[in-house]
Amino acid sequence: MNKVKYLSVVLFAAILAGVLISCGDNGDKENPAAEGQEAGVAMCDCVASYTPPADPTDIEAFMAYAQQLYNCLGVIAPYSDYIGLNGTMENSYGYDSEADEPLYSVFVFNNSDFEREFKSATNVCMQAFAALFEMMEMMGGQ
């Protein structure tokens, strides 16, 4: 339980840092499709920078990896006009394994062009998030 609470605090700090950094360089966003592609590439670059635990039953290694992946969610902060999170850590960010696109059920999209390009750019790397959210769902959304 304490590890999940710690993870929640770290994620909140990472997202807050992303929001604060993005406030200074928002500029005029005129091309949602290009922004979606850019956000998707940034998300995959972040995910690719971490290695999943070799032993999926190692809870400590899993929690460290989860923290790293959750930090990657902060890369969407500069694109908040187009994308947001569907929930909080307590409810696994709204992850729905029964959704049409469970890999993207944690996101709320506000622009179809952004959504299309973001999904295109993240199609491969989002599997790491899907595994993480499935694990969190099995743990009861702690």
Residues 14-65 have pLDDT tens digits of: 444 443 344 444 444 579 999 999 999 999 999 889 888 888 788 898 888 8
In a domain, 29, yes or no: no
Those residues with Cβ within 8 angstroms of residue 117's Cβ, 6 or more apart along the chain or in another chain: 32, 33, 34, 35, 36, 37, 40
In a domain, 30, yes or no: no
End-to-end CA distance of the chain: give it in Å, rounded.
7
Q: Is residue 3 scored above 60 in pLDDT?
A: no
pLDDT at 70: 82
What is the value of pTM for the model shown? 0.70
For residue 129, give its domain range.
2-23+35-138
Q: Is residue 119 scored above 80 in pLDDT?
A: yes
In a domain, 118, yes or no: yes
In a domain, 47, yes or no: yes
pLDDT at 29: 56
pLDDT at 138: 67
Total tally of structural domains belonging to the chain: 1
Closest CA to 36 of 95, 107, 112, 99: 112
